[in-house]
Amino acid sequence: MKPWTRLLTLVEEVVARLKPHYNSPQEDKWISYIEAMYCLIIKSKTILQTYRDEGKIRFSEPSRKSILYDRDSINEFLNKYTSALSDHLPKVESEAPCIEGLQLGVKQYALETGARVPLCLDENRQTGTSP
């Protein structure tokens, strides 16, 4: 047996043992501000706080400096406040990663309407073939 084959077998065994722990179908109901910002595609804690203050997303404050966000309310917010893209976006399910559905929806919307694809989603950007 070649050394790389043994290594590959070992890696496959480790992945098989760890997979049930990381690919569990049930996600946490309460997520950190970092995960919430990732799902909402925002970079500012101030915007997150505004959403919280306006009651657009539910949160829990188990301690003075710890705020957790309800994943379901974030998904509801995304579904409710998508306007022009709403026909092209898949409904966000709590098991699905938030951002991938939005990226697919934005790309589909751009294809169907002729709108420009944002640079961060444009696969052709690296090859220089983007218009």
pLDDT of 129 strictly over 80: no
Q: Which one has a higher pLDDT value, 10 or 105? A: 10
Residue 7 within a domain: no
Is residue 36 included in any domain, yes or no? yes
The answer to the question of residue 85 being in a domain is: yes
pLDDT of residue 49: 93
51 lies in some domain: yes
- Cα–Cα distances (Å) from 129 to 113, 116, 122, 124, in that order, read 20, 13, 10, 5
The tally of domains found in the chain comes to 1
Instruction: Name which of 106, 38, 109 is nearest 121 in CA terms.
Output: 106
The verdict on residue 124 lying in a domain is no
> Could you tell me if residue 125 is inside a domain?
no
Tens-digit pLDDT profile for residues 28-80: 788 988 888 888 888 889 999 999 999 999 999 988 889 999 999 998 888 77
Q: Is residue 45 part of a domain?
A: yes
Q: What percent of the chain has a predicted confidence (pLDDT) above 70?
A: 52
CATH number at residue 63: 1.10.1660
pTM above 0.85, yes or no: no
